[in-house]
Amino acid sequence: MDSTSQFKAILFVLFLITPISCMNVIDKCWCNQPNWETNRQRQAGCSVGFAGKMNGNRGKDVKLYTVTDPSDDPPLFVKSFTTIDGRGVNVQIGYGSGIVLEKVTNVIIQGLRIHDCRSQPGGPVVLPGGITEQLTGADGDAIRLASMSKIWIDHNTLYKSEDGLLDVMRDSTDVTMSNNWFHDHDKVMLLGHDDGYLRDRKMRVTLAFNRFGPNCKQRMPRIRHGYAHIVNNLYNGWGDYAIGGSMGPSIKSQSNLFVAPNSSNKKVTSRIAGVGTSWNWQSVGDTFENGARFKQSGRIIRPKYNKQQFFRDENANRVRMLTKDAGAILCSSRIRC
């Protein structure tokens, strides 16, 4: 693990025995290995989707960091070629600032519980490389990605923060979000800075094997301009909508399970006001329960993965099993997960 600033956090280290089922293609790559705890670098080759393999993160050493001053509360800025690996222990970040990835590449964030993040006033913060910079303020995101590429966010639990749980913006691309559990939140995930930021047209994001809900209201995700491949995720209800967008983004929703809420709002999708040249939103192999419905438009835009990014979707009737272990994993470091 690596970091360059202290942050306000609640940190518990509990060695618990909680076996997981290793059902999807990512988990099968590592969790049945008896020596996973001493060979954490293996995980870097298990990622799929637009992030591709994270072989640049196969470092030889592990650095341990301890919070020594909980009152020091700027966001946690992470530098390039960093892996934050919380598998096997209970690591929580909460009640202050979250994690920021800005102008970086090749970062893995895995196995954390991030919750109750709050906006913070401006002040000095130590950036990667030891540079001190005056920060204008933090808006209360759990994880914020800006002007970055090749990022993998896997097996985290995120909930109850002031702004977004996971926002990707400002010229960012090649992101995979997998095996995360998002719950009890309003605006879950934003992909794209604003309607006028045209450079986000190049954004490419994969969402795979995530669980949304219960009690998520909207933005799972909301996407502007770019492209999202949303595959084998479980949507356990919504408030306003599940998947939304503006400015004509392209979405391939593939083999997901959408379970509509018991309210009258059964629509999965929402096209939010804004000018867009095209709306290529297609549902391929999705399953809909409790009256859920997906409004399609345009044509299917394929992700065109290369060899390191490619993975096969599984039938939507297996999504509950594929996502049952989504979120931070508390498996023992002494046995197979």
CB 112 within 8 A of CB 93: yes
Residue 181, C-beta contacts closer than 8 angstroms, at least 6 positions apart:
156, 157, 158, 210, 211, 326, 327, 328
Residue type, 314: E
- Per-residue tokens: 235: 């949507």
Indicate if 318 belongs to the active site: no
Q: Which residue has the tokens 């099993």?
A: 321
Peptide bond into 221 cis (omega under 30): yes
CB 271 within 8 A of CB 246: yes
Question: How many other CB atoms are there within 10 angstroms of residue 28's CB atom?
Answer: 12
C-alpha angle with apex 35: 177 to 93, nearest 5 degrees?
Answer: 40
- Catalytic option among 40, 204, 211, 219: 219
- Per-residue tokens: 173: 């691309």
Residue type, 131: I
CB 73 within 8 A of CB 117: no
Between the alpha carbon of residue 286 and those of residues 242, 292, 296, the distances in Å are: 14, 11, 12
Active site residues: 219
